[in-house]
Structure 1
Amino acid sequence: MHYSPSSLVLALLCLAILAAALFAVLASIIAGLLAHWDGVSLPTALLRAGMAFGGTFTLLTALLTLIASALL
């Protein structure tokens, strides 16, 4: 089966976004656990985990956008 370059680029971009989301989830789990082990309440630990997810995912998608615009 022959894939056009546009479908290959789209597939690679989807995989990169999925990898960024998984990395952001891992970062948020670690941040939440570290915050909870530090002695903060569970809602505060979840808030810190959410901030870590949002910050990590935003940074990685901005980096992917920069790379994609430079390559295309």
Structure 2
Amino acid sequence: MPTLTVVLFTTVLIVLLALMTAATAAKLARLDGASYPTAIKHAATAFAGVLTLAGVITAALTAVLV
């Protein structure tokens, strides 16, 4: 049971980190003078990048630790 709790907690933290990164990217794009669609595009790219990086790190750690 503790393993499930750790996995869920880690998943929530990664998603929150990705959302904060996306919001920051959108805000910085808007401050730079980008339009709303461009800011949303930057936010989506940042969100996907964080989730991809988390997946790659998880795969690498699984390969090393298992």
What is the TM-score when the length of structure 2 is the normalising length? 0.84
Residue 12 (structure 2) aligns with: 18
Q: CA deviation at 1:48?
A: 0.4
What is the TM-score when the length of structure 1 is the normalising length? 0.78
What value does the CA root-mean-square deviation take over the aligned residues? 1.6
Residue 22 (structure 2) aligns with: 28
CA 46–34 in structure 1, closer or farther in 2 if over 3 Å, else same: same
Q: Matched residue pairs, number? A: 66
After the TM superposition, which segments of 4 or more aligned residues of structure 1 sit over 2 Å from their partners?
64-72
User: 1:20, 1:61 within 8 Å by CA — same for their partners in 2?
Assistant: no
The amino acid across from 1:9 in the alignment is T
Secondary structure class of the residue paired with 1:58:
helix
**Residues 26-66 of structure 1: CA deviation (Å, up to 9, x unaligned):** 00000000011101110000010011001011211332343
Listed as ranges, the gaps of 5+ residues in structure 1 are 1-6
Larger Rg: 1
How does 1:1-72 map onto structure 2 within 5 Å? 7-68=1-62, 70-71=64-65
Listed as ranges, the gaps of 5+ residues in structure 2 are none
User: 1:35, 1:45 within 8 Å by CA — same for their partners in 2?
Assistant: yes
Q: Distance in 1 between matches of 2:42 and 2:63?
A: 31
